[in-house]
Amino acid sequence: MAHLSRIGFGSYRVTAGTQENEEALVKALRSGINLIDTSTNYTDGKSEELIGKVLKKVSNEIPREDLTIISKYGYIQGSNMRRLNQGQEFPEIVPYSPACYHCIHPYYLQDQLKRSLERMQIKYIDAYLIHNPEYYLMHNIKKANDRDKELHLDEMQKRIGKAFDALEREVKNKTLCSYGISSNSFSVIEEDLHFLPYRGLIKLAQEAAEKAGNPEHSFKYVQLPANMIETVGLNAFVPWAASNGLKVIINRPLNAYFSNRLYRLATYKKVDNFKETFASIKAHFLSNGNREIPRILDHLENNMGKFQSYDHFEDSFNRDILPFVKIRSFSVAELDMINRALDMYKAQVCSMISDLTADSLKMLGISVKPPVQDQALSFLLNNKDITAVLLGMRKPAYVDTALKFK
């Protein structure tokens, strides 16, 4: 297995058919980033499809054995949910919400692994992770004094044990090199309702290896969210994992949740001459008798200060603003001008939000200097117990940020 680059290509939002995403992954691989992380449910399998396309494109330049590809299974959403509604059956499904079921049973594992290999056009996956198995606990444990809590915890261990049995068999079949668990619950305190007990995982892996006839277990990877604000997992779980020889992969290094709010740990520059340029775009449409666009741009400008977090802004932008642009008929020149205005607007709002984030971090006792993203990544990479940090790289420009740390 290849020596891992310290920064990995996170493909949560990349999708087949998006040229910019493809260019970003090609650039990352050609620049020496050799860790790719994905999941069966990322963009409903389209993330894996894009990876497969890029791997084929660079196959003459970069040997497969020089790359480490991680994928994950567990979620039933999108096309898998449609299959379920059409009569497909899997055992031990957790119906978490109408749009999101979960399953880690060996039958679902085999089904998803086959699809992962086909989408990525590869013969083996370096590490296949159980993706957030704690959904079972989230569905079944609703309160601290639940009298069946211990029974649910025992059942959780049994389900993970069965999954490990199947994963060890896949290692023996050479469709996998190793396996592991990616869990948000590795980042919470032990008293949390949905804390996933992890100290018995090594024993489960050893037992699974013995059943499969493997000389040693292949439980090699764990993944969890962590950053400058969310440090519980760094202080408790990560040292345990490292001491047991597990490779620790960190996700969500720049998106930090605290008090039900998302902090984007990044610095965005203010847009030069924003007001003047915005005003000239509005004036152009008014001169052509179009009052609707200037009215909308006025509304956006007057409400710039209402966004308290990056996710708040992004949700509003994608829900309320982009659909308006898509359903209207504009000339190419007009559409270009509108997109220019929206790009400026997004950049300016992000700059305002990053100022709010810096103020909030100071209140939490965290002193930051721009660019915050560099400080946030260094904070994690300076931890000797962390093997690699995943960074979303949907655009080539994001790859440039990553390359400073690879």
Backbone φ/ψ region at 379: left (φ over 0), alpha (ψ -120 to 50), beta = alpha
> What percentage of the chain exceeds 70 in pLDDT?
98
pLDDT (tens digit per residue) in 172-215: 999 999 999 999 999 999 999 999 999 999 999 999 999 999 99
pLDDT at 90: 95
Average pLDDT, the chain: 93
More confident residue, 226 or 271: 226
Pairing verdict, β 388-392 and 7-10: parallel
* 290, 302 Cβ separation under 8 angstroms: no
Three-state secondary-structure class, residue 182: strand
pLDDT (tens digit per residue) in 39-70: 999 999 999 999 999 999 999 999 999 999 99
- Residue 106 one-letter amino acid: P
Residue count of the chain = 406
- For residue 101, name the pLDDT band (cuts at 50, 70, 90): very high
Place of tokens 């704690």: 134
Question: Is residue 285 packed enough to be buried (19+ CB in 10 Å), middle (13-18) or exposed (0-12)?
Answer: buried
The CATH topology of domain 7-256+372-403 is TIM Barrel (3.20.20)
* 135, 96 Cβ separation under 8 angstroms: yes
Place of tokens 């199947």: 166
Rounded average pLDDT over 240-257: 96
- For residue 32, name the pLDDT band (cuts at 50, 70, 90): very high
- For residue 329, name the pLDDT band (cuts at 50, 70, 90): low
pLDDT (tens digit per residue) in 352-394: 888 888 888 888 888 888 889 999 999 999 999 999 999 999 9
